[in-house]
């Protein structure tokens, strides 16, 4: 087990280095930071001094190493668009994105899981068929269209829920803000969370259903029946538990998709998170923000992949045996 | 002679297993009909669209934001209503679908070509190249494709001047989406190439002294291209959605070249004033297009899978 964790960690390092390299290359080759920082009037001496101060006269790999070193410490330079340190910009947007993503994930699990179990167990009921049709719609609707439809229904049509912003937020500690503690904050969260979670919800539902149907066909379920266990204990004790293995993997990997599509959701609802910041930066080619976001996302993804691998490893005993025998064979 | 041969080919195609399974599946027939309708509408837009949305002379601001014809105040000249500049929605959607399809298909073709070439190389040209290419693919697959496309688009946006960028935006999008989708094709082709390279016919081709390039392209390629077709269809739906998403986010096609995503973005501004049709109709067209392509892809995957027969 420690060897496994170590090998996964070692695999993650090149990914981060490569992404860091791309982020740095964007810095170095796209646009000219010296030009941007000097503005209109400057002398050649000033220019050379600034180049020296920024360390741009040093060899490429030295600069890259310095960039990565600063990045590790959380320094990404100054946003071209907002003229403020990128780290501060990201820190103040982070809580909004995290709250939205976590709510969407919890929502998709809390609704998707029972729906999947229900459609597998009562396969022929009308409600189950209704769920399946609903899931087909959920999978083919692009995220931004879901958001627009929800706004049209609940904000424009019924006027129940707000269509943009985070509502009233409460400050906790130095830099964390939360919308969970005010009524308007929770109201503002509902539509974006549904928008972001809908695709995941339908995916989890279909996955749980398919896996559960598969498991219900296996021999040990038949044996459990032969032993005279109750229907309830067979379905929820035996079958559901074994359904969870692939579900954990997919849900984990889909967390990455939640992060990616929080970009879209945040744009539709003008949600003041990192995704909206990134989109606004892409529009005006604000490279420091883009590369910081890129690095941050890379870290998030590497961590997610690592955690999923570990969970998988912990949940499925077969994997441990296969892996050790494969290593012995090599 | 050639006519007879073509007729024979058609007869054989109509008699094939694939066509049989197609006829037997109502979902496949329905989605094929829907896809055909949308593609025809898009391809023939300049001929059959009731108005030309790019013809500025024909636009009349008096006609702006008219509701669809079946509502009060609608006119039958504009069956699905008009947008804020008085452009006919139906024609706009037909032209928009044309751009969406063009970008989607070109992007996937680009991904297919890059992915197939690199996949063949990885599978045939030795372990060092294989390891390098597959590591790159692994790193890229760690991230969702839409993020990669967004990033590539953003970098190119930063690197070229604004006025040049507007002219080449279509190609930028094709490149960005294509490059974000190549690893899947490369992996599939590599997998089957690894199987094929050890077969007798490849050995025979090597013995008679054919070059590696020739062996890869004319001997191995035809035998590994089958699964690519299935992924092509499924990726096409995703690529069209990618383009729509980027355009909706405002980093895709500009309003001068509106795709379906751009139309939805424009319509989004009129949501609160009650002009829902400016958003909803392009949205419906997009969903219909993606849904029919996805259903066809699902069917094709099952029909070509020998285990399911």
Q: Testing the interface with A: which of B135, B136, B245, B247 to mutate, by most A Cβ within 10 A?
A: B245
CA-based nearest residue in chain B for residue A156: B272
Contacts of B272 (CB under 8 A, 6+ apart): A155, A156, A163
* Partner-chain residue, chosen from A151, A267, A282, that has the shortest CB–CB distance to B154: A282
Q: Cβ B139–A18 below 8 Å, yes or no? A: yes
Minimal Cβ distance to A30: which of B144, B158, B279: B158
Which residues in B have their CB inside 8 Å of a CB on A?
A: 135, 139, 142-144, 146-147, 150-151, 153-155, 157-159, 241, 244-245, 248-251, 264, 268, 271-272, 274, 276, 279-280, 283, 286-287, 290-291, 294
Closest-approach residue (CA) in chain A for B140: A15
Query: Does residue A117 register a pLDDT over 80?
Result: yes
- The pLDDT assigned to B76 comes to 64
Q: Tell me which residue of A282, A251, A293, A305 sits closest to A112, measured CA to CA.
A: A251
Q: How does pLDDT run across B82-118, given as a tens digit for each residue?
A: 766 667 777 778 888 888 888 999 999 999 999 999 9
pLDDT of residue A175: 67
Cβ of B150 and A263 within 8 Å?
yes
Contacts of B58 by beta carbon, 8 Å cutoff, 6+ apart? B51, B52
Give the model confidence (pLDDT) of A208-245 as tens digits: 888 888 777 778 878 887 887 777 777 777 777 777 77
Closest-CA residue of chain A to B162: A284
Closest residue on chain A to B289 (Cα) = A140
- Say whether pTM exceeds 0.90: no
Task: Please name the residue that has the structure tokens 């077709």.
Answer: B229
Smallest CA-to-CA distance from A67 within A14, A8, A37, A26 is with A26
Q: Which of A145, A290, A297 sits opposite B287 (nearest CB)?
A: A145
The residue among B278 and B284 whose pLDDT is bigger is B284
Structure tokens at B108: 């996937």
Structure-token pair, residue A47: 């220019």
Could you tell me the maximum CA-CA distance found in chain B, to the nearest angstrom?
77
pLDDT at B61: 65
Locus of tokens 């929770």: A186
Is the separation of the CB atoms in A98 and A109 below 8 Å? no
Of A19, A142, A294, the CB nearest to B241: A142
pLDDT value at residue A167: 67
Query: A7-21 pLDDT, tens per residue?
Result: 777 777 877 887 777
Q: Specify the pLDDT at position A298.
A: 81
Cβ atoms of B185 and B199 within 8 Å: the answer is no
Pick from A161, A191, A153: nearest CA to A269? A191
- Any chain B CB within 8 A of the CB of A305? yes
Q: Indicate yes or no: CB of B147 within 8 angstroms of CB of A298.
A: no
Domain A93-282 fold is MetI-like fold (1.10.3720)
**Side-chain half-sphere of A250: how many Cα atoms within 13 Å?**
20
Which of A257, A244, A251, A261 is closest to A307 using CA atoms?
A: A251
Name the residue in chain B with its Cα closest to that of A293: B151
- Within 8 A of A298 by CB-CB distance, chain B residues are 142-143
Chain B residues whose beta carbon lies within 8 Å of the beta carbon of residue A302: 142
Residue A221 is predicted with a pLDDT of 79
**Contact, A24 vs A291, CB < 8 A?**
yes
Model confidence at B1: pLDDT above 60: no
Could you report the per-residue pLDDT of B190-244, keeping only the tens digit for each?
Answer: 888 888 888 888 888 888 888 888 888 888 888 888 788 878 888 888 898 888 8
Handedness of CA B13, B17, B20, B24 (dihedral sign): negative
Q: Which of B34, B143, B247, B270 to mutate to test the interface with A (most CBs of A within 10 A)?
A: B143
Q: Delineate the domains of chain B, giving CATH numbers in brackets.
A: 97-301 (1.10.3720.10)
Domain ranges of chain A: 1-81+284-330, 93-282
Nearest-Cα distance to chain B for A317, in Å, is: 25
Interface of A with B in 154-193 (CB under 8 A): 155-156, 163
- The pLDDT of residue A326: 47
B146, B155, B276 ranked by CB distance to A152: nearest: B276
Does the pLDDT value for residue A327 go beyond 60? no
């Amino acid at each position: 087990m420690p060897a496994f964790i170590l090998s996964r960690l070692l695999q993650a390092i090149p990914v981060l280095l490569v992404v860091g390299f791309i982020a740095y290359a964007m810095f170095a080759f796209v646009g000219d930071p010296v030009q941007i920082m000097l503005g209109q009037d400057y002398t050649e001496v000033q220019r050379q001094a600034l180049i020296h101060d920024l360390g741009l006269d040093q060899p490429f790999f030295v600069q890259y190493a310095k960039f990565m070193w600063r990045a590790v410490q959380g320094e990404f330079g100054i946003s071209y668009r907002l003229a403020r340190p990128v780290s501060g910009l990201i820190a103040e947007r982070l809580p909004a994105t995290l709250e939205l993503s976590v709510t969407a994930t919890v929502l998709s699990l809390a609704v998707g899981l029972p729906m999947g179990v229900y459609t597998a167990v009562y396969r022929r009921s009308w409600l189950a068929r209704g769920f399946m049709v609903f899931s087909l719609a959920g999978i083919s609707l692009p995220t931004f269209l879901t958001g627009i439809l929800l706004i049209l229904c609940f904000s424009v049509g019924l006027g129940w829920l707000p269509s943009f912003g985070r509502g009233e937020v409460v400050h906790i500690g130095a830099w964390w803000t939360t919308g969970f503690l005010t009524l308007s904050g929770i109201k503002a969260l509902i539509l974006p969370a549904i928008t972001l979670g809908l695709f995941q919800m339908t995916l989890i539902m279909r996955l749980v259903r398919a896996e559960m149907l598969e498991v219900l066909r296996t021999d040990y379920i038949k044996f459990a029946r032969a032993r005279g266990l109750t229907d309830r204990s067979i379905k929820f004790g035996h079958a559901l538990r074994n359904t969870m293995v692939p579900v954990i993997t997919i849900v984990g990997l889909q967390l990455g998709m939640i992060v990616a599509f929080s970009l879209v959701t945040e744009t539709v609802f003008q949600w003041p998170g990192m995704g909206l910041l990134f989109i606004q930066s892409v529009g005006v080619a604000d490279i420091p923000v883009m590369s910081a976001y890129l690095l941050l996302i890379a870290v998030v993804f590497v961590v997610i992949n690592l955690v999923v691998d570990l969970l998988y490893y912990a949940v499925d005993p077969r994997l441990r045996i296969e892996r050790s025998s494969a290593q012995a064979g090599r | 002679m050639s006519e007879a041969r073509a007729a024979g080919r058609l007869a054989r195609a109509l008699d094939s297993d694939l066509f049989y399974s197609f006829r037997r599946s109502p979902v496949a027939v329905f989605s094929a009909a829907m896809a055909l309708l949308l593609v025809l509408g898009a391809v023939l837009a300049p001929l059959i669209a009731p108005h030309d949305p790019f013809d500025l002379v024909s636009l009349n601001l008096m006609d702006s934001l008219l509701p669809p014809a079946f509502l009060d105040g609608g006119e039958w000249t504009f069956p699905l209503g008009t947008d804020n500049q008085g452009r006919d929605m139906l024609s706009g959607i037909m032209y928009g679908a044309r751009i969406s399809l063009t970008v989607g298909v070109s992007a996937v073709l680009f991904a297919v070509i890059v992915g197939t070439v690199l996949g063949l190389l990885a599978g045939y040209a030795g372990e060092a190249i294989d390891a390098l290419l597959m590591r790159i693919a692994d790193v890229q697959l760690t991230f969702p494709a839409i993020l990669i496309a967004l990033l590539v688009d953003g970098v190119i946006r930063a690197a070229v001047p604004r006025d040049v960028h507007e002219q080449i935006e279509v190609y930028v999008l094709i490149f960005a989406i294509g490059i974000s989708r190549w690893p899947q094709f490369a992996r599939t082709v590599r997998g089957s190439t690894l199987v094929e390279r050890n077969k007798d016919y490849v050995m025979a081709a090597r013995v008679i002294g054919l070059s590696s390039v020739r062996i890869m392209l004319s001997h191995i390629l035809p035998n590994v291209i089958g699964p690519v077709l299935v992924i092509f269809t499924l990726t096409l739906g995703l690529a069209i959605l990618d383009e729509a998403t980027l355009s909706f986010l405002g980093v895709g096609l500009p309003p001068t070249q509106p795709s379906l995503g751009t139309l939805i973005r424009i319509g989004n501004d009129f949501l609160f004033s009650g002009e829902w049709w400016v958003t909803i109709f392009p949205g419906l067209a997009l969903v219909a297009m993606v849904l029919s392509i996805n259903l066809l892809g699902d069917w094709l995957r099952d029909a070509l899978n020998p285990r399911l027969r």
